[in-house]
């Protein structure tokens, strides 16, 4: 029934692009008219691209399940294999006599090097290899200053992007994915053990997220119709659900920035202009992170500003554990860290607060915070995560100035004035009124008692005094400026 009889198949290698719609590699493969072998490789041993964190593995498992269903409903069969990508591809090439391999690009240092080597190798062996952009509005090498060098400041970068010809219209999902007639062995998804068992920390994830392409497009539609208008004002309040929550879907490529761009550009969205521009500029920040990563491939683990290289970070100890578990004694910080642990996600405003707290109040290396986020975020992204951490630490490009030290109490009063967010994630504080919930150590003894709080027992005292920590950080960071 398919055009597959005797024809050599094309392998479509899925990586960070787990979708059928607007998938250029898949679309190009379908256009060839050849039978397809959709393939995903779990390459999590050795020196491959960074091994996925726990939360991401949970998401991946769900996402692959959805992708497999979407492919099957179109007549195809997703092949799942675990191992070193080069070796798995070799096996499948020789087993199927495939004539070509198509994929969408990745942008991390290791990923680029491996893709390039693989492309050379396969091409030399007579294979056709084609790669595509499925992840960005503009390839990082196409956006540059008038002198041809890459940007280091967001605003001019985004202006330059907006001045470029807009992205093409998204590609429709193919109706049919003609399957190769050869039976290619596939792993059972369950055998990869991507889901946590003991302890199963993912229970809170299940009711919040719908991983997969269908969940992503549903979320986008809902956001545009219900939240876009209030986005500019509401996006900073973590108790209100006014952000898009699309980040994990973007991280796994279940939706493309191009699809988002065109959906937001529809004429009937024009009434929410300020929200629309604000939202699209968040997509711009993602683009900027990839731009920086591409042009500074070591930023994942190296300070963009090298004068920070000698910074005397504190050795992580009890305070680091308190930060990770949400027991710093600062309610907003603790609520945010617990939101991360319980849901695999944290509101953007809170990411800045907890990041600033770790780096400035505790003087702990941003890389440790970045690793914790990498492990616990369902939206852990190879560009966004390190770029965001370098921004808050002050060592990045276009970074927050070193004297910008968030006051966790002021931030709390400003963005969670009634303490709803705190009460949700720190229920042991829920009996405090909104006057005292932001700094329980200042609450009168009677109020604490009435709220059932025994400071130091049921909720910790602050692990560090804000005024002291601020002064210490300013001094430490000022020394960094001198050593240039």
| Ranges assigned E (strand) in 83-237 | 100-104, 128-132
Nearest Cα to 432, choosing from 468, 458, 396? 458
Q: Which stretch binds DNA (CB under 7 A): 83-91, 106-114, 321-329, 344-352?
A: 344-352
Q: Rounded to an integer, what distance in angstroms lies between the CA atom of residue 476 and that of residue 463? A: 19
Q: Rounded to an integer, what distance in angstroms lies between the CA atom of residue 266 and that of residue 280? A: 13
- The contact pattern for DNA, residues 423-462, with x = CB under 7 A and - = no contact, is ----------------------------------------
Q: Is 414 in the site for DNA (CB under 7 A)?
A: yes
DSSP summary character for residue 133:
-
Query: Of these residues, 285, 341, 345, 391, which one is catalytic?
Result: 285
- Looking at the Cβ atoms of 209 and 391, the one nearer to DNA is 391
Going by C-beta distance under 8 Å and a sequence separation of 6 or more, which residues neighbour residue 206? none
Question: Which residues in the 218-247 window bind DNA by CB under 7 A?
Answer: 236
Q: How distant is the alpha carbon of residue 259 from its chain centre?
A: 17
Q: Rounded to an integer, what distance in angstroms lies between the CA atom of residue 146 and that of residue 165? A: 16
β-partners of residue 81 are 41
CB of 156 to DNA, least distance (A): 4
Q: Is 391 in the site for DNA (CB under 7 A)?
A: yes
CB of 411 to DNA, least distance (A): 5
Q: Rounded to an integer, what distance in angstroms lies between the CA atom of residue 231 and that of residue 233? A: 6
Whether 86 is catalytic: no
Whether 345 is catalytic: no
Whether 282 is catalytic: yes
Q: Is 248 in the site for DNA (CB under 7 A)?
A: no
- DSSP of 226-239: HTGGGHHHHTT-TT
Burial (Cβ within 10 Å: 0-12, 13-18, ≥19) of residue 84: middle
Q: Is 475 in the site for DNA (CB under 7 A)?
A: no
Q: Is 271 in the site for DNA (CB under 7 A)?
A: no
Whether 285 is catalytic: yes
β-partners of residue 17 are none
Q: Is 291 in the site for DNA (CB under 7 A)?
A: no
- The contact pattern for DNA, residues 144-163, with x = CB under 7 A and - = no contact, is -xx--xxxxxxxx--xx---
Q: Which stretch binds DNA (CB under 7 A): 183-191, 263-271, 373-381, 476-484?
A: 476-484
Q: Which stretch binds DNA (CB under 7 A): 59-67, 190-198, 372-380, 466-474?
A: 466-474
Query: Of these residues, 282, 371, 407, 428, which one is catalytic?
Result: 282
CB of 99 to DNA, least distance (A): 43
300 cis-preceded (ω within 30 degrees of 0): no
Q: Is 323 in the site for DNA (CB under 7 A)?
A: no
Whether 366 is catalytic: yes
Interface residue with DNA among 11, 111, 368, 400 (CB under 7 A) is: 400
Interface residue with DNA among 25, 60, 80, 405 (CB under 7 A) is: 405
Q: Rounded to an integer, what distance in angstroms lies between the CA atom of residue 252 and that of residue 55? A: 12
Count of residues touching DNA (by CB under 7 A): 38
Q: Is 121 in the site for DNA (CB under 7 A)?
A: no
Query: Of these residues, 158, 345, 389, 391, which one is catalytic?
Result: 389
Q: Is 103 in the site for DNA (CB under 7 A)?
A: no
Q: Is 109 in the site for DNA (CB under 7 A)?
A: no
- Looking at the Cβ atoms of 139 and 282, the one nearer to DNA is 282
Interface residue with DNA among 203, 410, 442, 449 (CB under 7 A) is: 410
Q: In what order do the strands lie in the sheet with 36-42?
A: 79-82, 36-42, 10-14, 100-104, 128-132
Q: Is 277 in the site for DNA (CB under 7 A)?
A: no
CB of 187 to DNA, least distance (A): 38
Burial (Cβ within 10 Å: 0-12, 13-18, ≥19) of residue 294: buried
DSSP summary character for residue 328:
S
80, 232 contact by CB (below 8 A): no
Q: Is 398 in the site for DNA (CB under 7 A)?
A: yes
- Looking at the Cβ atoms of 147 and 188, the one nearer to DNA is 147
Burial (Cβ within 10 Å: 0-12, 13-18, ≥19) of residue 282: middle
Q: Is 275 in the site for DNA (CB under 7 A)?
A: no
- Residue 249 has phi, psi (to 5 degrees) of -65, -40
Nearest Cα to 23, choosing from 103, 99, 81? 103
Q: Rounded to an integer, what distance in angstroms lies between the CA atom of residue 294 and that of residue 288? A: 10
Q: Rounded to an integer, what distance in angstroms lies between the CA atom of residue 213 and that of residue 234? A: 26
Query: Of these residues, 86, 192, 262, 348, which one is catalytic?
Result: 348
Interface residue with DNA among 326, 388, 419, 462 (CB under 7 A) is: 388
Whether 407 is catalytic: no
Binding site for DNA (CB under 7 A): 145-146, 149-156, 159-160, 236, 282, 285, 348-349, 352, 388, 391, 398, 400-407, 410-411, 414, 466-467, 470, 478, 481, 484
Q: Which residues are marked as active site?
A: 282, 285, 313, 348, 366, 389
């Amino acid at each position: 029934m398919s055009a597959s009889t005797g024809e050599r198949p094309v392998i479509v290698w899925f990586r960070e692009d787990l979708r059928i719609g607007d998938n250029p590699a898949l679309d190009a493969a379908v256009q060839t008219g050849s039978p397809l072998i959709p393939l995903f490789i779990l390459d999590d041993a050795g020196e491959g691209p960074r091994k996925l964190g726990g939360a991401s593995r949970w998401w991946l498992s769900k996402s692959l399940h959805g992708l497999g269903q979407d492919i099957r409903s179109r007549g195809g069969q997703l092949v799942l294999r675990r191992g070193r990508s080069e070796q798995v591809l070799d096996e499948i090439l020789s087993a199927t006599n495939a004539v070509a391999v198509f994929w969408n690009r990745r942008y991390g240092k290791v990923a680029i090097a491996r893709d390039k080597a693989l492309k050379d190798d396969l091409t030399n062996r007579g294979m056709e290899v084609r790669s595509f952009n499925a992840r960005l509005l503009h390839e990082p090498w196409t956006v540059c200053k008038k002198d041809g060098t890459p940007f280091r400041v967001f605003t001019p970068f985004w202006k330059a992007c907006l001045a470029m010809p807009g992205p093409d219209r998204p590609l429709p999902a193919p109706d049919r994915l003609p399957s190769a007639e050869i039976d290619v062995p596939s792993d059972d998804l369950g055998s990869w053990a991507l889901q946590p068992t003991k302890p199963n920390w993912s229970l809170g994830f299940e009711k919040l997220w719908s991983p997969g392409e269908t969940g992503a497009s549903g979320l986008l539609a809902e956001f545009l119709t219900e939240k876009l208008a209030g986005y500019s004002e509401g996006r900073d309040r973590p108790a209100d659900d006014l952000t898009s929550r699309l980040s994990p879907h973007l991280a796994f490529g279940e939706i493309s920035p191009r699809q988002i761009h065109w959906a937001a550009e529809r004429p009937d969205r024009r009434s929410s202009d300020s929200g629309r521009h604000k939202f699209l500029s968040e997509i711009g920040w993602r683009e900027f992170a990839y731009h920086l990563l591409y042009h500074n491939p070591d930023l994942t683990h190296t300070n963009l500003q090298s004068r920070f290289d000698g910074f005397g970070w504190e050795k992580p100890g009890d305070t680091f554990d308190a930060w990770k578990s949400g027991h710093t004694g600062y309610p907003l910080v603790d609520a945010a860290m617990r939101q991360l642990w319980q849901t695999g996600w944290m509101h953007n405003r809170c990411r800045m607060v907890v990041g600033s707290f770790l780096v400035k109040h505790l003087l702990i290396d941003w890389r440790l915070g970045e690793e914790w986020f990498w492990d616990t975020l369902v939206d852990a992204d190879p560009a966004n995560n390190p770029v965001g951490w370098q921004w808050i630490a002050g060592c990045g490009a276009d970074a927050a100035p070193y004297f910008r030290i968030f006051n966790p109490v002021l931030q709390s009063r400003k963005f969670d004035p009634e303490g709803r967010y705190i009460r949700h994630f720190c229920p042991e504080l829920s009996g405090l009124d909104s006057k005292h919930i932001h700094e329980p150590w200042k609450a009168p003894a009677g109020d604490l008692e009435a709220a059932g709080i025994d400071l130091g027992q049921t909720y910790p005292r602050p692990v560090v005094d804000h005024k002291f920590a601020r002064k210490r950080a300013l001094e430490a960071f000022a020394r960094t400026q001198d050593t240039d």
